[in-house]
Structure 1
Amino acid sequence: MEEAALLPAELEADLHDNIPLTQAMQVRVLEIGPESVRLGAPLSANINHHRTAFGGSLATLATLAAWSLAFLKLKSAGLDCSLVVGSVHMDYLAPVEGDFSARSMLAEPEKWEHVLEAFARRGKARIPVLAEIDYGGRCAARFRGDFAALAR
């Protein structure tokens, strides 16, 4: 069963209501597509002592974008489950000196049906997701994470 997609404002409200850190970071949902989610955040709320974006903020925004994509994909498949992060790897490539965004995508989109089949069989599934931090039109950091979908 396919459910109606969430609007960016609805996802943003959900993030702000359930993850207070997203309010402090001033996270905004910029775009929701069928295969990606893009979140943004201002430097002013995420700045460090070097006057660049705090690495933890970059990792958090990438994790949130990746989690949001997995959440929306599961929701659109009609699955009611818990979604938790299992592992994360982050590579920082360049300093971020202004507002930034994170775009997520499935690491293995061709295996999405296998994820759904695994969940149907075992009540759990692993979802590998990628995200890139964009600053000024270039990739400033790369994220790879595995999320676990668990039946309630």
Structure 2
Amino acid sequence: MTEYEFQQFLHNQIPLTKAMDFNVLEFTPSKVRISAKLEPNINHMSTAFGGSINCLLTICGWAMTYIHIKEIDVNTHIVLQKSSINYLAPISNDFVAECVLSDKDQENIKNFSRTYSKHKKSKLKLNISCYDEQTLAAKFQGLYVAYK
């Protein structure tokens, strides 16, 4: 699935992503990057609304989970079970969420896939970062569950 195809999938399956002007920049098994325009996500202080930042980070992790489970079972349900976010700096520009898998994460992905194949349910913990240009603006950790 290309970046554009996944973006259309997101906009169809989760319409809020279209209204919030989310755009898929990169969609690979090792890296997912999704951007958001500031204007539809602005708050009363002319910075990005915290809920919009959280939503972008949640979707980015959901996308990484999706890219790894779709090969096993395209009809799998994916939900966020638990998350935490740290807001580090205000965002005054368009912003980007990024989920990059490390070598350690690759082993977690293998375990996630094996567990799902065996039990039709599995959990994946991911770390996602949000940037305002080059500034790290937020860190997010999400526990995603894939189930039949």
Considering the TM-score relative to the shorter chain, is it more than 0.5? yes
> Aligned partners of 2:56, 2:147: CA distance in 1, in Å?
23
Specify which of 84, 87, 97 is matched with residue 102 of structure 1. 97
Stretches of structure 1 that go unaligned for 5 or more consecutive residues are: 1-5
Match of 2:147?
A: 150
Task: Kindly indicate whether the alpha-carbon contact (under 8 Å) linking 1:66 and 1:105 is maintained by their aligned counterparts in 2.
Answer: no
Aligned partner of residue 118 in structure 1, secondary structure: helix
Q: Residue 78 of structure 1 aligns to which amino acid in structure 2?
A: I
Report if the CA contact (8 A) 1:29-1:38 is conserved. Answer: yes
SS of equivalent residue, structure 2 residue 61: helix
Quote the residue 2:35 is aligned against. Answer: 40
Give, in whole Å, the separation in 2 of the partners of 1:97 and 1:133: 13
Work out the CA distance in 1 between the residues paired with 2:100 and 2:141.
Answer: 10
Instruction: Give the TM-score normalised by the residue count of structure 1.
Output: 0.90
- 4+ long deviations beyond 4 Å: none
**Unpaired stretches in structure 2, ≥5 consecutive residues:** none
Shift in Å, 1:106: 4.4
Q: Name 1:134's counterpart in structure 2.
A: 131
Equivalent position SS for 2:21: coil
Amino acid at match of 1:99: D
The 1-side partners of 2:109 and 2:13 are apart by: 26
Tell whether the 8 Å contact from 1:132 to 1:141 is kept in structure 2 after alignment: yes
Pair 1:115 & 2:109 matched? no
State the alpha-carbon separation in 2 of the partners of residues 74 and 122 from structure 1. 13
Q: In structure 2, what is the Cα distance between the partners aligned to 1:119 and 1:56?
A: 31
Q: Look up the match of 1:79.
A: 73
Percent same amino acid at aligned positions? 32
In structure 2, the partner of 1:50 is 45
Q: How many residues align?
A: 145
